[in-house]
Structure 1
């Protein structure tokens, strides 16, 4: 059994390699070759949760679960909001193969899936990126968006000015891209071609009035039925895609709240990203479509990423 730490995950799981792994995994899900159940969640003092996410990858011969805590206010204490591990087992005999740091996997695989959705759904000439939120996911999403689109300007907003300013300085040095720090979410969103919402907000931070025609949105932050980052009118006007329909119907406030309000119907979800990757679901039809990819994060994504890292390490041992 291997113990694989955060530094090893970061070194072995590049954004491009993770995108390739996620593409295969999401297609497997669409084809019934990967299975999972909805995450189970234990509430901890109202705002915080302990979650467990199990799944099985038939083609890879592995199964596993991610055990993770989500403490949204951890950034105030210099800690990540998501902390945990992925337990990787062999399907043939149930043996524990590896315990893998889950924080870095969560950051990379989430952004990699957003990159796949952006590559399929955003306009190919998208040049202005808006990031609402400047935490770990914002950093990963910046790299992911730069991987798939010719981004020339990044507009950022955060409720914490100090965090936003630090993000700007670090990311400009790392990626050599122009970054503008905005005073409001509205200012950041105006004129953007791609918008990534990566916050811990419980209430909408992105409104329809701020979004121009043709925008693609990756909504990543809210993952409970009573929380959302997008207002109902924006969801209503959009072509709406998800990583898992089952997950969205049970866990996504960005879908469930507009549904409860009567703003959308149950068939508002056009399809899963795996179906888009297989060209079995319709994508962007025009330059004016507003597309939204609602990401909740899937157990099979974590297990596939952990298995890729495990195989990379074992392969090096055998060379």
Structure 2
């Protein structure tokens, strides 16, 4: 096999320990900077299946300066009631495949990195109090990334199940510098918070927007369906609203869609894409009292950026298995 006909297959275990949360944040920040300078990216396409219930989702991005392009595809639900993630990475110069990555273990880290880039671009520089609503793998990924971009003193976590939030707090207290505490309500978490992260699958708002402190930043990462709604209209109205991709807002940003439907805002309320802020082409926070929202529904920007980071690290470490991809010039023989 020639170099042009092979790619590297990387298992979830291969890539699990190749990068720290801070490494992911640096790679993803660069990906969004490229997007702000015009790199192509498209929002998710999701196909739903009724019987068995499930969804097939994919999205795409080209990051020329990172040296990667690709798409993230995953199947969730169906008969096994589980999820599987596949990430192909291609060279944007030659078009040849570089890697096929099992994207399961990287998922909370690349998504958390996107949230942290949003915090870094939009939250106050002196933010010290972090609230997180949700206690699953995605919430963990968000918090581990967030503490790399701000010097938080305290993290307060709420989820409806007491055991889950207490376990979350106990585990992260051992791993992170800030004090991590479980609280009994979302209101208690949000009170006094400089940054609020929502990492849920909620269909109704998870906190009251009137209780947000002036100057608070919110990263919402669980509202990637028109019927999902982590944020109420009050929060959307108050906020400088920044999504990951403008084109996905009226497609699947549930809180914004429902605020538009109620007449509380219109589509012009979208301030800028995150990449435009990161690249310096749009302002983010303009005053200490601004409330800001980063709506992180998920894109291939963070996925491709993170995937290229892992591919490069795997090559250096000699990890993975070479697999053959036949170029069309050889395979499309018509026989």
- Normalising by structure 2, we get a TM-score of 0.86
Shift of 1:102: 1.4
Structure 1 counterpart of 2:10? 4
Aligned counterparts of 2:247 and 2:291: Cα–Cα separation in 1: 23
Structure 2 counterpart of 1:40? 45
- CA deviations on 1:243-299 (whole Å, 9 max, x unpaired) are 110112322112111011110121111111111112221121222111111111111
Aligned counterpart in structure 2 of residue 21 of structure 1, from 22, 27, 31: 27
RMSD of the TM alignment (CA)? 2.3
Q: Larger C-alpha radius of gyration, 1 or 2? A: 2
Q: 1:91 to 1:126 in 2, by over 3 A?
A: closer
> Which consecutive residues of structure 2, in runs of 5 or more, have no partner in the other structure?
1-6, 320-335
Aligned counterparts of 1:136 and 1:45: Cα–Cα separation in 2: 27
Q: 1:186 to 1:83 in 2, by over 3 A?
A: farther
Q: 1:36 to 1:285 in 2, by over 3 A?
A: closer
- For the residue of structure 1 that corresponds to 2:172, the secondary structure is helix
Give the aligned length.
311
Shift of 1:215: 0.6
Structure 1 counterpart of 2:324? none
| Contact 1:35/1:300 (<8 A) preserved | no
User: What is the correspondence of 1:180-219 to structure 2 with a 5 Å cutoff?
Assistant: 180-219=181-220
Instruction: Looking at secondary structure, tell me which structure has more helix per residue.
Output: 1
- For the residue of structure 2 that corresponds to 1:305, the secondary structure is helix
Shift of 1:194: 0.6
> Which consecutive residues of structure 1, in runs of 5 or more, have no partner in the other structure?
none
Shift of 1:64: 1.9
Is 1:96 aligned with 2:112? no
Aligned counterparts of 1:60 and 1:240: Cα–Cα separation in 2: 27
307-316 or 40-49: bigger deviation = 40-49
Shift of 1:93: 5.1
Structure 1 counterpart of 2:149? 148
- For the residue of structure 2 that corresponds to 1:206, the secondary structure is coil
Aligned counterparts of 1:194 and 1:240: Cα–Cα separation in 2: 15
- CA deviations on 1:99-133 (whole Å, 9 max, x unpaired) are 21212332112211221221221112211111000
Aligned counterparts of 2:126 and 2:16: Cα–Cα separation in 1: 30
Shift of 1:163: 1.7
Aligned counterparts of 2:232 and 2:175: Cα–Cα separation in 1: 33
Aligned counterparts of 2:147 and 2:26: Cα–Cα separation in 1: 16
Q: 1:217 to 1:89 in 2, by over 3 A?
A: same
User: What is the correspondence of 1:188-267 to structure 2 with a 5 Å cutoff?
Assistant: 188-267=189-268
11-20 or 122-131: bigger deviation = 11-20
- CA deviations on 1:71-90 (whole Å, 9 max, x unpaired) are 5xx9xx9x7xx541211233
Structure 1 counterpart of 2:37? 31
Aligned counterparts of 1:48 and 1:205: Cα–Cα separation in 2: 25
Aligned counterparts of 2:281 and 2:123: Cα–Cα separation in 1: 18
- For the residue of structure 2 that corresponds to 1:256, the secondary structure is helix
